[in-house]
Structure 1
Amino acid sequence: MPSIVVALVAACAEGELLVLGSRAFSGFGGFLAGSVALATVARATRPVVLVRADETPASERMPGSDGEPSARAPYREVVVGVDTAHMCDDVLAFAFESAVLRSAPLRAVHAWTQSISPGPGAKNTSAQEDAERELTRVLGPWREKYPTVEVHELVANDHAAHLIQGATTEAGLLVVGRRNRPARIGAHTGRVDHAVMHHVRCPVAIIPHE
C-alpha cells in the first residue's frame, strides 16, 4: 500500500472526516478518482468528502438573481443514496446533519431493480409502491428527529448509480454509504461508490458503515 494512503487513512482515523481534492477531472466532469483516492476511500474508517478542483463556497449555493454564483443565495439541496436493504443510520445521520447546517432540502434517492420483466401493469406498480413505502418507513424516524428538514423522496426502477447521477445535477452535496467489508474480501469501494466518485460533479461524501 502506498505510504500516502497509509498516512491519509491514519489521519482520517484521528479526525471527524477527511477531505480530498482533485486537480483534474474525469471525462464526465466529475472527480478524477485516482489510485490514491480509491485506496483511501476503501480503507477509511471515517467519512471522506471528495471535492473537485474548481469548487468554491458559492458552488454549493443556488445562483443569485443575476444567474451567477452567489455566496448569499440559499444552499443547493443535499442528496442521499439510501439502500433500504441494509442499515444506513450513519449515512442518514450525516445527510440530515448536512441539510440542517445548510438549511437546505434533502432528497432521498432509492433505486430498485426487477430482473424479470413484469406482466402488464400490476406487478411493476406493486414493486414501485413497495419500494416507496419502504423508503418512507426508513426515513420516518429521521423526519421526526429533524422536523425542520424538507425531505423529498425519489424512488425508481433503475440502476442506483444512474439514478443518483441524474438526481445530483443541481445538488450541492451527495452522501452515499460504503459498507465495511470482511478482511477476506479485501478493502474496496462498491460499484455505486466507484461510479459516483467518477461521474458526479458536486462534492461527494462517502460514509463507511456496517
Structure 2
Amino acid sequence: MGHPRTSALTLGSCLVLYRSAAKKFAAWDGGDEDETSESIDTALSWVLLLSAVQLLFNLFFLSAFCIYWMDRDIRALALVGVFLLSCGFVVFAQQKAVDLTRRMNPEKRGSVYDTKFQKKWMDSCDESERRQVGQACCRAYMVSSRFCLGLWLALAILSMVFEVSILPTLVLLLVWGVMQVTYSLECIRLGKRN
C-alpha cells in the first residue's frame, strides 16, 4: 500500500538479503559455524525486520487511504488490491526466512501461516535463545514505556496550545495500559512458578 515503490523497495531488499543468506547456507560445509551461521542469522533477522516495517507501512497507508481518499474514485479497489498483494509478499518473505532458519536448525518448529506460530517457535528455542528473547522483550518494554510517556507529554502540551481531541490521548493510554498490565500480570504469574 502507500506507494507501490515503497513495497517494491522494501520487499526487494528482503529478497536480496534472503538470497544472500540462502547462498551462504548452500555453500556452508558446517565448518566455521559461528561466523557463517551468525552472518546468515543476521541477514534473516533483517528480512524479518524489514518485512515487519513494511507491514506497518501497509497498515498506516490503508488507514490513511480509508480516511482521506476512499470516496474519491474507482481506483479504491486497485489500491486495496495493492495492499493485499503487499501483505501477501510480507508474509511470504517472513515464511522464507523461517524456512531457512528451520533448515539451519532442524529442531525449530513452526510456520508463519500457523496461528500458534509464536508459541511453537518459542517451545523449540533453547535456553540461550529464550534468554535473548527475554532481554529483547525487556528492552522493547523499557523503550516503549519511555516513548509512551514522551508522547503523552507532547499530547498534553499540544492540547494546551491547540484544540486537540481527547481520542489520541485515550488511545495512547489504552496501549500503554495494556502493556503495563500485561507486563505486571506476567511477572506475577512467573513469580508463582518460581
| TM-score over 0.5 (shorter chain) | no
Higher relative contact order, structure no. (Cα contacts within 8 Å, ≥ 6 residues apart): 1
Q: TM-score normalized by structure 1?
A: 0.23
Flag the structure with higher helix content. 2
Flag the structure with higher strand content. 1
User: Based on CA coordinates, which of the two structures has the bigger radius of gyration?
Assistant: 2
Q: TM-score normalized by structure 2?
A: 0.25
